[in-house]
A and B are shown apart, each in its own frame.
Chain A
Amino acid sequence: GAGVSQSPRYKVAKRGQDVALRCDPISGHVSLFWYQQALGQGPEFLTYFQNEAQLDKSGLPSDRFFAERPEGSVSTLKIQRTQQEDSAVYLCASSLRAGSDTGELFFGEGSRLTVL
């Protein structure tokens, strides 16, 4: 399809395991964002890419979180040594131009991570 695609949709990990979450943005979109959405909360910013450059990673909660977008399209969010507090839905969003463009972001359905 033509939308933002995320995988896996659901991931259950044991505490201490590493996980990788994938985002396939809309083709040609320059900007890519990762957000974390805890249960009952709004999305919280994690990191921002403009093409392959990670311009802001100020929202990443710890150095266990790492994101990349090596070719300026697909992005991966990696969480090392998962902890229970990492349980959340991880949302990927893209926009056509730099930043949030005119403010319209296109979101994927999210990857729900549960850490046991």
Chain B
Amino acid sequence: GDSVTQMEGPVTLSEEAFLTINCTYTATGYPSLFWYVQYPGEGLQLLLKATKADDKGSNKGFEATYRKETTSFHLEKGSVQVSDSAVYFCAPYSGGSNYKLTFGKGTLLTVNP
């Protein structure tokens, strides 16, 4: 089955700092790759996705590039805001007979003003 290794948290940054959260995966074939975000007190929601090698997913200033050669999908943001404080989860999805998303342990990000 699919698996994912995610950068251990917590990560604490000052506002406007640069963010990187590392994610590497193991999956069958050529999976789609996802980042989900969980804001305090809320359910998980899709942040961004990429469906094939070299694709870049982006949303809300966050970006991640599908790197097939390194099986990675690192999340980046050039200038974080306090409102970005949340838990971030990386998830590969192979589809087909493997119909469920497998999540990483999550990385807690705290952004201080």
What is the minimal beta-carbon distance from A89 to any residue of chain B, in angstroms? Answer: 10
Please, which residue of chain B has its CB at the minimum distance from the CB of A6? B43
Residues of B with C-beta under 8 A to A43: 44, 89, 103
Does residue B25 face the partner (Cβ distance < 8 Å to A)?
no
Please, which residue of chain B has its CB at the minimum distance from the CB of A59? B100
Residues of A with C-beta under 8 A to B102: 45
Are A100 and B93 CB-contacts (below 8 A) given A42-B105, A43-B103?
yes
Asked whether B34 lies within 8 Å of A103 as measured between CB atoms, the reply is: yes
Asked whether B101 lies within 8 Å of A105 as measured between CB atoms, the reply is: yes
Asked whether A108 lies within 8 Å of B32 as measured between CB atoms, the reply is: no
Asked whether A104 lies within 8 Å of B49 as measured between CB atoms, the reply is: yes
Asked whether A56 lies within 8 Å of B100 as measured between CB atoms, the reply is: yes
Please, which residue of chain A has its CB at the minimum distance from the CB of B104? A42
Grouping DSSP codes into helix (H, G, I), strand (E, B) and loop, the A interface class, with mixed when no group exceeds half, is: loop
Residues of B with C-beta under 8 A to A40: 105-106
What is the minimal beta-carbon distance from A7 to any residue of chain B, in angstroms? Answer: 13
Asked whether A108 lies within 8 Å of B105 as measured between CB atoms, the reply is: no
Asked whether B99 lies within 8 Å of A98 as measured between CB atoms, the reply is: yes
Within 8 A of B (CB), among A1-41: 4, 31, 33, 35, 40-41
Asked whether A41 lies within 8 Å of B95 as measured between CB atoms, the reply is: no
Return 6 A-B CB contacts under 8 Å, by A number: A43-B103, A100-B95, A100-B99, A103-B32, A104-B46, A109-B41
Residues of B within 8 A of A (CB): 6, 32, 34, 41-46, 49, 51, 89, 91, 93, 95, 99-106
